[in-house]
Amino acid sequence: MFNAPRVAVPADVRHVYVAIDPCGGGGSNFAMCSVYRQHGTVVVRQGLRSGALTSVPQVVGLEDRRVTGHADMEETVQRHVRGLELMFPARAGTKFVIMTESNLGLEAAHVANMLKEHPRCVPLRETGTEGRYGVLTTHARKAEFVALLETLLTTSGIVVAERVVSTEPEAALKTLQQQLGQYKMVTQTGGAFAAPKVTFSGKLGPDGKPGLMRDDLCIALQMAVYWSSYVLQRKCKFLDYGALFA
């Protein structure tokens, strides 16, 4: 993925999927990963090769920052979206599907409000009777995230493009590579009569305890891969597919 030749982004990209993993406190960072799906390969904005899957993601943007408050978060989101707008001019008709994890509270609604002046941004809504902004990460979905990303990585289905929208593109790529390498399945025993619990994390040290490591950018990439597939499979209840694919 990180050594593949980089290529230019084609002019006919219709949708860019922007996954946002908000800061969960502690040592977590605010992470964003933007991808597009085209020509059977995931491009993390570095290359384009044929893959085994149909219309897989191709990454075009990465952010991994420590944010300190609402204003800092908004500045990060706005700058990233402006970078995407420059990469994909309005004349191309590219739309940006915003996929913010909503597990923590109102972050997804805040992001949607930040981008209300960007007509090409389409915030994803998933839960509730009226469609609450954001997407949920459950334990079962986390396992699906891992399985899908692992399939793409083992079939050379993800590459990185020539130019990455990011505050520090090369540093973000190095961070992503490190986090992918330390992300793993963790089995926790629950006692003599409890079944082992299997989770996934990139935050655990060699001793199996939470350390100083982070996995925010790795999670954002997993979200981008999963939710872009979810959208294309027409599974989003509150998404106007007619307008999105017009």
pLDDT 10s digits, 165-199 = 999 999 999 999 999 998 888 877 766 677 777 77
Instruction: Please tell me the predicted confidence (pLDDT) of residue 122.
Output: 96
What is the distance between the alpha carbons of residues 167 and 63, in angstroms, rounded to a whole number?
A: 7
Q: Cβ atoms within 10 A of the Cβ of 45, count?
A: 27
Q: What is the pLDDT of residues 73-84, one digit of tens each?
A: 999 999 999 999
Instruction: Please tell me the predicted confidence (pLDDT) of residue 53.
Output: 38
Q: 97 near 111, Cβ under 8 Å?
A: no
Q: Which two tokens stand for residue 71?
A: 């204003």
What is the percent of the chain with per-residue pLDDT over 90, rounded to a whole number?
Answer: 46
Mapping DSSP onto H, E and C, the string for the chain reads CCCCCCCCCCCCCCEEEEEEECCCCCCCCEEEEEEEEECCEEECCCCCCCCCCCCCEEEEEEEEECCCCHHHHHHHHHHHHHHHHHHCCHHHCCEEEEEEECCCCCHHHHHHHHCCCCCCEEECEEECCCCEEEECCCHHHHHHHHHHHHHHHHCCCEEEEEEEECCCHHHHHHHHHHHHHHCEEEEECCCCCCCCEEEEECCECCCCCECCCCCHHHHHHHHHHHHHHHHHCCCCCCCCHHHHCC
Instruction: Please tell me the predicted confidence (pLDDT) of residue 218.
Output: 93
Burial code (b: 16+ CB inside 10 Å, e: under 16) for 132-141 equals bbbbebeeeb
Residue 207's pLDDT band (boundaries 50, 70, 90)? low
Q: What is the pLDDT of residues 100-127, one digit of tens each?
A: 998 877 889 999 999 999 999 999 998 8
Q: What is the CATH number of the domain that holds 46?
A: 3.30.420.320
Answer whether residue 186 is part of any domain: no
Answer whether residue 162 is part of any domain: yes
Mean pLDDT of the chain: 84
Instruction: Please tell me the predicted confidence (pLDDT) of residue 54.
Output: 43
Answer whether residue 134 is part of any domain: yes
Q: Which two tokens stand for residue 49?
A: 């090769």
Range of the domain at 43: 15-167+217-238
Q: 9 near 60, Cβ under 8 Å?
A: yes
Answer whether residue 2 is part of any domain: no
First-to-last alpha carbon distance for the chain, in angstroms, is 32
Q: 143 near 32, Cβ under 8 Å?
A: no
Predicted model pTM? 0.88
Answer whether residue 151 is part of any domain: yes
Mean pLDDT of 37-58: 51
Query: CA-CA distances (angstroms) from residue 203 to 11, 142, 163, 180?
Result: 38, 15, 29, 11
Answer whether residue 178 is part of any domain: no
Split into its structural domains, the chain has a count of: 1
Answer whether residue 103 is part of any domain: yes
Is 55 a residue whose pLDDT tops 90? Answer: no
Is 134 a residue whose pLDDT tops 90? Answer: yes
Q: What is the sign, positive or negative, of the torsion defined by CA atoms of 49, 153, 78, 5?
A: negative
Instruction: Please tell me the predicted confidence (pLDDT) of residue 245.
Output: 84
Q: What is the sign, positive or negative, of the torsion defined by CA atoms of 209, 213, 216, 218?
A: negative
Answer whether residue 234 is part of any domain: yes
